[in-house]
Amino acid sequence: MIIPSAPALLAWYDRHRRTLPWRAQAGQVADPYHVWLSEIMLQQTTVKAVIPYYQAFLERFPTIEALAQAERDSVLAAWAGLGYYSRARNLHACAQAVAERGGFPQDVAGLKTLPGIGAYTAAAVAAIAFGVPVVPVDGNVERITARLSNTHEPLPAARPLLSRLAAELNTQPQAQARPSDFAQALFDLGASLCSPRTPACGLCPWQESCAAHAAGTAAELPRKAPKAVRPTRHGVHFLAMDSAGQVLLRRRPDTGLLAAMTELPGTDWRPTPWAEAEALAHAPAPAAWRVAGPVRHVFTHFTLELVVYAGQVPQFSNQQVAEGFLLPPAQARKAALPSVMLKCLATGLKALA
């Protein structure tokens, strides 16, 4: 692979850099809390989706100390809707670790010791916030590197090779002198010109060094191995409302998928559908249950098909409340409900309206 011109990329970045709420202005020092928070939120999530969550999160937790001191349920509630909820739990644990030690470590190795920070996030925070001359390798950088080198081996098998090649991109003095800008320039190049489906090679500052452009294969790269068929799981959840208009909710276990999040009571999620009589055995209280409707939600590794039942309960027993908690619908929507449970809540409430 020909090492492309760092000055050309940085000159392009100086003209076309994106304005993002977590990004420091030219000549200013980045806030490590802002950089870290944005990088965690951006995992598996688009910039467009993250921006309003990021802004609302900072209003609620303006400093890492405020985040560290917050109750975990408050953090989960602020995160609700972003998905991949282990990120929120690790975010809270990491904030507590950073607050305890008095600040973030300023090197890759130290950052990797913190909860929820892997190789990519450690490199991104080190480069952007602390000026460490390292290349963070995300999907954008993988795509750029695969095209520069015209690598046809499919992902994920090609990742070790692409990481080694990407590490060479910042070896020129100009890149070493501006590690924060160089890392962000790579992200912006991949997010704009070197896009997945229709790369704008004619505008790219690295066109002359790109082996895939020369070979006419840029739009085909990086190649990806065929995806495995996503399995389907099935479950049933119950929207139970008492005469005071309160909804019965419960907390999921502290481990596993959607750990510690809030949900409507229901069955396990399994490979086969639930017969009605079998499902109603899991109802949280006696009621004239009726089918409110289906809910479909796609997770990374499986598709979830749910049936929501709705029913009115005159009054919940002390035991039923002890196993969960009651909230009016307006407050329930603001609790730590993941997206799938917000769908279930809306479906059940519509049936009871």
Catalytic residue IDs: 39
∠ CA 168-174-177, rounded to 5°: 100
Residues whose CB is less than 8 angstroms from the CB of residue 33 and which lie 6 or more positions away in sequence, other chains included: 63, 64, 104
253-264: burial string, b at 16+ Cβ within 10 Å, e else: eeeeebebbbbb
Can you read off the two tokens belonging to residue 150? 């015209």
Please provide the DSSP assignment of 264-292 as one string: -SB---BSSPPPHHHHHTT-SS----EEE
Inter-residue contact 141 to 190 (CB < 8 Å):
yes
Torsions phi, psi for 52 (to 5 deg): -65, -35
Burial environment of residue 46 by CB neighbours within 10 A (0 to 12, 13 to 18, 19 or more): exposed
Helix (H) or strand (E) holding 220: none
Cβ atoms within 10 Å, residue 41 = 23
In this structure, are strands 303-313 and 325-327 parallel, antiparallel, or unpaired? unpaired
Give the pair of three-digit tokens for residue 85. 């909820």
